[in-house]
Amino acid sequence: MIEGDLYGRLLANTLFPAFEAVRGRPTVALLKYLEETERWTPGALREVQTGLLRRLVRHAQHHTEYYRHLLDERGLKAESFLSPDDLQKLPLLDRGTLRESMTARIANAPPAAVVRKTTSGSSGQPVEVMYNSESRHWRDATRWRGYGWGGYRIGMRAMHYWGFVPSGSSTWWKRRKIDADRLFKRDLYLDCTPRGEQALDEVVSTLRRFEPQAIVAYASGAGALARFVNDRNLRTWSEIPVLTGAESLLPHDRVEVERAFGPAFETYGCREVMLIASECDAHDGLHTSMENLIVELIVREPNGTIRAARPGETGEVVITDLHNLACPMIRYVNGDLAVARGDAPCRCGRGLVKIGPVQGRVTETMYDGGGNPVGGLVFNILFSTIGQVARNFQVVQRADRSVVFRVVPYQGTALPAKEEEILRTHAAKYLPGAPFAIEIVDHIPLTAAGKRRVVVVEKKE
């Protein structure tokens, strides 16, 4: 906290804890617990994971149709899991199965789901997830701990240079409630998607007025803003830590960000489970959120077998949410790749196992009709609002700057009028002057490596 910031200290020490307590959220207590356990050894942390895994398996077997059949068929029960490694006894949960098994994974006993949302669909396949209060509280506390490693703590003024979800489906009351909550916590949200000169200049002006003590930003957005600041020698502020997410922080962007603002800290997460891993001040990999999740990195062998990635080897990210009892997700393959690190100790002294670098969800930059750059991730965000009607999608910008939205609808040969209007309005806002069309297709082909490119920008010959 910056010296002399009276409201910041009041917010951190009194107002925020009281506000969370009134809402029945143990965020502060969980955060204190996590700040203790992060110093435990990897072995001790795995013992915590094992206990939580057994509880999760027991609840899932007794109260969900999907896992009851799955476990019974294999002759497994909670006591069969003696360590996180025993998760290999269960099959992977891919995105398609996650969608199809939604109803069968909902527990028929408390705790009930309190949050239901659609993912942003960065892999091109939006999915819906549900989770209970306990899971939400652990996600919040884990996020604050990870942010704290990067210098952003409760009470600080934070500028969130993030993507905006269209507000068409949100009520007036909900929007006012969100605005009040952000004002109380001193959070300023700016849209990072428009990246033309005028838009970036307005962001710099706002930054100077707001004087943030931390910045939370899309990685590519932070890089674009930093280059704008550095190219024009606009920096007039002291160091501001920058926490990046949503995409991998590329080395050249890190250099620009640290020159323009201050130290950069990469975070890694997905909407299905929120924060998965965070970078500490050692800047050597990202510590996984072991008390909240089991993160596996797996390698598929040519013969069809699956094994754990070895230190230094790249593997697919597989996640088990230890606190989601309402709609369990065990061994969920989220479509990303990351490098395994093993149990090598970190200079910071934390025992949380590290991964990284993370590979995945790096999108291409698009351009509006005037040639101004626009971050491609804006369309992933857009599809979090229409994912219930679109099975897959892809955004293609031709060399002449025209844009085609390729969509595979769940039903019929067209999108519903409401969702089509959201698409067209969003495209007109972020890609003004670029010819736009919606193309309904039966499927979207994968790349030779088996990946789906969500944003394709064709280059001129």
> Using an 8 Å Cβ cutoff, are 123 and 95 in contact?
yes
Instruction: State yes or no: pLDDT of 361 exceeds 50.
Output: yes
Q: Are 120 and 357 in contact (CB under 8 A)?
A: no
Q: What are phi and psi of 430, to 5 degrees?
A: -95, -20
DSSP-assigned beta bridge partners for residue 408:
392
Please say whether the beta carbons of 267 and 279 come within 8 A: yes
pLDDT at 282: 97
Average pLDDT score over residue span 191-200: 89
Average pLDDT, the chain: 90
Mention every residue, 6+ apart, whose C-beta is less than 8 A from residue 51.
none
Write out the two tokens for 182. 């952000």
For the chain, give the percent of residues with pLDDT over 70.
Answer: 91
CA–CA–CA angle 186, 192, 193 (5° rounding):
150
pLDDT at 120 over 70: no
For 199-258, the pLDDT digits (tens) are 999 999 999 999 999 999 998 899 999 999 999 999 999 999 999 998 888 888 999 999
Mean pLDDT confidence for 134-157? 97
Measure the CA–CA gap between 162 and 177, rounded to whole angstroms.
19
> How many whole angstroms from its chain centre is CA 455?
18
Predicted confidence band of residue 21 (pLDDT cuts 50, 70, 90): very high
Answer whether 0.95 is exceeded by the pTM. no
User: Residue 455 is encoded by which pair of tokens?
Assistant: 């944003």
Handedness of CA 426, 431, 436, 441 (dihedral sign): negative
Tell me what the mean pLDDT of segment 15-42 comes to: 96
Indicate whether 57 pLDDT > 50: yes
User: How do beta strands 365-367 and 293-300 pair?
Assistant: unpaired
306-353 pLDDT tens trace: 999 999 999 999 999 999 999 999 999 988 889 999 998 999 999 999
In this prediction, residue 170 carries a pLDDT of: 64
Residues with Cβ within 8 Å of residue 194, at least 6 apart in sequence: 372, 374, 430
**pLDDT of 449 strictly over 90:** no
pLDDT band for position 1 (cuts 50, 70, 90): low
| pLDDT tens digit sequence for 70-102 | 999 999 999 999 999 999 999 999 988 999 999
pLDDT greater than 70 at residue 446: no
192 CB-side CA count, 13 A: 29
Q: Is the pLDDT of residue 375 over 80?
A: no
Percent of the chain past pLDDT 90, that is, above it, reads: 66
**Domains in the chain and their CATH numbers?**
38-137+271-359 (3.40.50.12780), 151-262 (3.40.50), 365-457 (3.30.300.30)
Q: Is residue 451's pLDDT more than 90?
A: no
Please provide the DSSP assignment of 367-380 as one string.
E-TTS-EEETTHHH
Distance from chain centroid for Cα 450: 22
* Residue 103 CB contacts under 8 Å (≥ 6 apart), including other chains: none
DSSP 8-state code for residue 13: I
Tokens 């969100």 found at:
178
> DSSP for 144-172?
HHHHHHTT--TTS-EEEEEPPPP-TTS-H
